[in-house]
Amino acid sequence: MQAEPEILFDRKGAAGIVTLNRPAALNAITHNMVRLLAATLDAWKNDDAVTRIVIRANGRAFSAGGDLREVTEWGRAGRYADALVFWREEYLLNAAIKRYPKPYVALVDGIAMGGGVGVSVHGSHRVAGDRFQFAMPEVGIGFFPDIGATWFLPRFKGETGTYCALTGERLRAADGVAAGAATHRVRSERFPDLVEALCGDISVDATLAAFAEPAGEGEVIAKRPLIDRLFAGGSIEEILASLDGAAKAGGGDAEWAAKLAATVRSKSPTSLRIALEQVRRGKNWTFEECMRAEFRIVSRIIREPDFYEGVRAVIIDKDDSPRWKPAALSEVSPAMVEAHFAPLSEELPL
- Going by the DSSP 8-state scheme, the letter that residue 66 receives in this structure is B
Contact by Cβ (8 Å): 169, 296? no
- Whether the Cβ atoms of residue 14 and residue 50 lie closer than 8 Å to each other: yes
Residue 138: active-site member: yes
Active-site pick, 67, 90, 109, 138? 138
Quickly count: other Cβ atoms within 10 Å of residue 149's Cβ.
26
Q: Of 16, 75, 115, 161, which is the active-site residue?
A: 115
Which of 67, 90, 146, 175 is flagged as catalytic? 146
With b for 16 or more beta-carbon neighbours within 10 A and e for fewer, the 310-328 pattern comes to: bbbbbeeeeeeebebeeee
| Antiparallel, parallel or unpaired: β 7-12 and 15-20 | antiparallel
Find out whether 26 and 64 touch, Cβ atoms under 8 Å.
yes
Cα(261)–Cα(240) distance, integer angstroms: 6
CB-based contacts of 186: which residues, under 8 Å, 6+ apart?
127, 128, 129, 194, 208, 211, 212, 213
Active-site choice (65, 66, 148, 176):
66
Distances in Å between the alpha carbon of 80 and those of 159, 299, 302? 34, 8, 7
Q: What is the CA radius of gyration of the chain?
A: 20
- Is 115 one of the annotated active-site residues of the chain? yes
Ramachandran angles phi, psi of 164, nearest 5°: -65, -45
DSSP state of 155: G
- 310 catalytic residue (yes or no): no
For residue 347, give the amino acid letter: E
Q: Give the up-direction half-sphere exposure of residue 2: CA atoms within 13 A in the CB hemisphere.
A: 3
User: What does the alpha-carbon distance between residue 260 and residue 120 come to, in Å, rounded to a whole number?
Assistant: 27
Mapped onto helix, strand or coil, the DSSP state of residue 216 is: coil
Residues whose CB falls within 8 Å of the CB of residue 118, separated by 6 or more in sequence, listed in order: 29, 66, 90, 93, 94, 97, 146, 147, 148
Q: Which residues are catalytic?
A: 66, 115, 138, 146
